[in-house]
Amino acid sequence: MSDDFLNALRFTHQVFARVTVTDLDGTVVTLGVQSGTITATYQQGTRRTADITVYATGTKADGSTVNASDMNVMLTRPGTVCLIEMGISSNLVAQTMIPMMMGAPSNVAWRIGDGEIDFDVNDDWWRVSQGRFTAIWSPNAGLKRVDAVSAIMQAVAPSRQLIVTATDTGTIQSQGDWDVNRDTAVETLATDGGFDAYFDRQGRITLADSKTADDPVVWSATAGGGGMLVNAETGMDVTRLYNAVVVKPSATDNSQTWTAQTAILASGDRAPANLGVTIPYFMASPTISSAAAALAAAQKQLNRVTGTPMTIQADMLSNPALDEGDVIEILLPANPNEGIEATMYRYYIDTITWDLITGGMSVKARNEGEVSDDAS
Cα angle, residue 36 at apex, residues 31 and 39 outer, rounded to 5°: 120
Give yes or no for residue 197 having a pLDDT over 50: yes
pLDDT digits (tens, 9 = 90+) for 272-296: 888 888 888 888 888 888 899 889 8
Predicted local distance difference test score (pLDDT) of residue 1: 66
Per-chain mean pLDDT for the chain: 86
Give yes or no for residue 87 having a pLDDT over 80: yes
Mean pLDDT of 54-63: 95
- Shortest CA distance to 228 belongs to which of 308, 91, 320, 309? 320
Amino acid at 119: F
Give one DSSP letter per residue of 325-367, joined into a string. Answer: T-EEEEEEPPBGGGTB--EEEEEEEEEEEEETTT-EEEEEEES
Give yes or no for residue 373 having a pLDDT over 70: no
Q: Which helix (H) or strand (E) holds 302?
A: helix 291-305
Predicted local distance difference test score (pLDDT) of residue 9: 74
Give yes or no for residue 74 having a pLDDT over 90: yes
pLDDT digits (tens, 9 = 90+) for 232-258: 777 766 666 788 999 998 877 777 888
Angle between helices 182-193 and 145-156 (to 10 degrees): 150
Who contacts 207 (Cβ-Cβ below 8 Å, separation ≥6)? 146, 149, 150, 162, 163, 164, 165, 166, 190, 195, 196, 197
The pTM assigned to this predicted structure is: 0.83
Report the alpha-carbon distance of residue 39 to residue 354 in Å, rounded.
7
